[in-house]
Each structure stands twice: as structure tokens, then as C-alpha cells.
A = this chain, B = another copy of it.
């Protein structure tokens, strides 16, 4: 093959893949000559060939542009065997919780579906305009950013604001303990890696939030699932028996508004849990991302509140209450602080600066509590509406959780209903749900689903829930 043919084929392939979009200008002849290290003549020859194939067109004084028709036609054509990079054979992957979760999330995006299956809160309730204003003001006032300034543990002013919030809420925290992370996801990963090693066994709730299972899977550890009461949280006697029977490297729990059960673990049980674990020197990783989203009159305590040994690694974020896509989380790792800080440095170096400072600026103002009061009220109302309608639309034998905070409902379907089949059938109708299988490694909860009620309650959402109920009824009757 001649050089100019090779170049023309490469550009054709790039158009097919959408690298160059319809109507977009490709490199000038001079640029292409430099970029590809070929002569001007070769480029001219290649571009003439592309024109004759109908892939690009020239516009006077402007250059070469991708023709709309060509982009459309190529998008559906198979790759040219000559220029496509050989598609690498994928290494087989076992079916696992994380793959199911990721494909559920993708289905929401791809189908623009009713987001009952989403684990994330409706972003339209967040104070974007104000946070973005702070971000913009920061971008304007700083000529440049030095990465070194926000190295772990993170931006000092953000750390101070987080400590201040804890102090105001009755949990005195040493700012020196806080490590800023990329969302609670990273905080949980780093905390687990700080206290346990591959092959270790970690106790989790059952059902458990799958991010816990992800962290365990990612680090090559084993999960042991402990019975969890839908109102009181993890069964402390059952946990004590597990601990008596085998070595447990860590315990991962979500004591406030657990995802998916929605319970608020009573203070006394939180204290008992901390004491049981402390008696065996077992670190507790506390995922407290929903703490701000309580429905009652009083803010819940955290496991950290009862920690006197530095054994609780408390993880939280602003992703559920202020802004998910800013990705600001943190850990209070107790006696494991040095390790968590170091792991943050090794894992992702730093968290982006502007989001850190924007959130700090937002917190310094007075609006956060007002925003949270509104959010809690909306979620509480929508929890009632969804619970009532599930009980109305779904067949006899359906049971729902009574969330004390957060924005998800846990629904037990009649036992003969397979939630994975329901998931597929619902998706075909543009509705997503969270299948119960995601919340366990034991193939449990096959007839459970999780529903997100953070989105505004519309006629469209109500119709979708009705459709879901009909699907469940049909499956229950089959």
C-alpha cells in the first residue's frame, strides 16, 4: 500500500469511529504533513483520494471538512480490515456484583429511562447555581494552581469547614484527622486497604450497600454477611458469633439510612457495636454518606461519636447532599490516619483543587442548612408517596421498608418473582430498577428490588410505577 493510501485509510477509519465528526475540519495539508511526518505531496494525494471517495470536501479559504453523508454512512460500516487496530481479544471476566451494578447504571444513561434504579440523588435539587458561582469566582481570582498546595490531606480551608460542621453538630473532630478523598468511594477503599490485606475476611451487613462489596472485591478480600435487622441494623449477637468463630479483619457498616434498608441504627446499638469491635480490636469502617438526610427532628449520631480507641474509620461525602459530580469526600481514619493519607497520595495523588475550594466557600456561607432542610422535607414526602403507591400498584405479598432518611426504598416482592427478569422486562419499557442481587454475594434477595424516590413525583413516574406493578403481578401469577 502506498503512503498516501495508508493516510487516507487512517482518516477514513477515524471518521468511521467518530473521532472526526460530520462537518468537522480535519488538519490542514501543512499540519498533516508535520503530524504524520510525510511530504506535502503525499498529504495532497491522500486528501484528493478522500475527496474522490466522498469522505471530505473542500471549502474555499477554510480547508477540508468531513461530509455529513460520509460520516453517517461510515458510522454503520464495518471497520476496514487494513487500518483498524487489531481488536484485542477481551480477557474473560466472571459475572460479579460490580458488573451488574455498572450495567444497571449504563442502562439508565443509554435508555434515558425512568431512574428508579439509580443509586444517585436527583441532581436538580442541588444548589448548582450557587456552588458554580463559587467555582467561577475561584477560577477568576486564582491566576494559577499549584498542585502542591492541595496535596493530601487536602485543601486546608475545606478541612477546616468540614471540622467546623462536625463541631457544630456535636462531634468534636480534630481537623488534623481529616483526609480529603475523591468521593466516599475512595475514602472507603483507602480505609479498607489501611486495615486489611488481600485474603482477609471482612464482615458486612446483609443486605449491604454494594460499594462495600466492591471495595472488598477490588482488594481481593472475602466478605462475610451478617444478618441485619430492617429497623435496627446489623445483628450484634450474630456478629459476635461470627467474630468468635473466625478472624475478622474489619467490619463495614452504614449505621444511618443504610442503602438499601433505610434504617437509623439506635444510639445504644451503635455504642454496643463500637464496644464489641473494640473489645476484639477490629476496625469499623463507617459509611456515613446519608447522615445529613434524616427525616426526624434530630440528627443521628455516628459510630465515630462512640469511638474512644481510634478504631472507627468514618467515611462521608457531599455527593448525596450537595453535589455528586464535584466528587468531594473525606475520611476520619482514627488511628489509621497516616496510612489513609499515604494511600490517598499513592492512589490518586490529589483531589482536584477548584471543587475543593468551591465547596469550602459554599460551606462558609449560611445556605447549606437551609438547602438540607428543604432536601429532607422533599425526600420524606416522596418516600411516603412511593411507599403508598407501591402498596397500591403491586400485588399482595409485596412489602416495603420504612426509610428513616436517605432516598431509597427496599421492596420485597412475592417470592416467585425473579427481580432480574423484572429488571429486563422493565428496561424494555424504559424503566430501571435496582435488582436485589446487587446487595449480596450470596445470590440472596432474588425477589427484592431497590427504588429511588429522589426524583420529583410526576404523572410519568406514577405511570411507570403502575407499569412496574403490572409486570410484578403478571410474574407473581405466572
Contact = CB atoms under 8 A, between A and B. Distances in A.
Nearest to A38: B170
A2 interface: no
A247 interface: no
Interface in A348-370: 348-355
Contact of A350 (B218, B327, B334): B327
Nearest to A324: B147
Nearest to A31: B168
Given A147-B120, A325-B150, A13 B183 contact: no
A313 to B, nearest CB: 11
Contacts of A135: 135-136, 139, 354
Interface in A102-155: 102, 105-106, 108-109, 115, 118, 120, 123-124, 126, 128-129, 132-133, 135-136, 139-140, 142-152
Contacts of A160: 18-19, 21
A174 interface: yes
A365 to B, nearest CB: 12
A126 B32 CA distance: 25
Interface stretch (A41-49, A91-99, A385-393, A439-447): A91-99
A91 B163 contact: no
Contact of A346 (B105, B176, B214): B214
A172 interface: yes
Interface in A199-256: 214-215, 217-218, 220
A37 interface: yes
A274 to B, nearest CB: 14
Work out how many copies of this chain go into the complex.
Answer: 2
A298 interface: yes
Contact of A151 (B91, B109, B169): B109
A160 B149 CA distance: 31
Contacts of A401: none
Contact of A186 (B37, B167, B334, B347): B347
A185 B109 contact: no
19 contacts: A10-B167, A14-B172, A19-B163, A19-B175, A21-B160, A35-B168, A84-B174, A90-B338, A91-B336, A98-B342, A99-B342, A108-B148, A132-B139, A136-B139, A146-B325, A185-B349, A189-B347, A325-B354, A347-B347
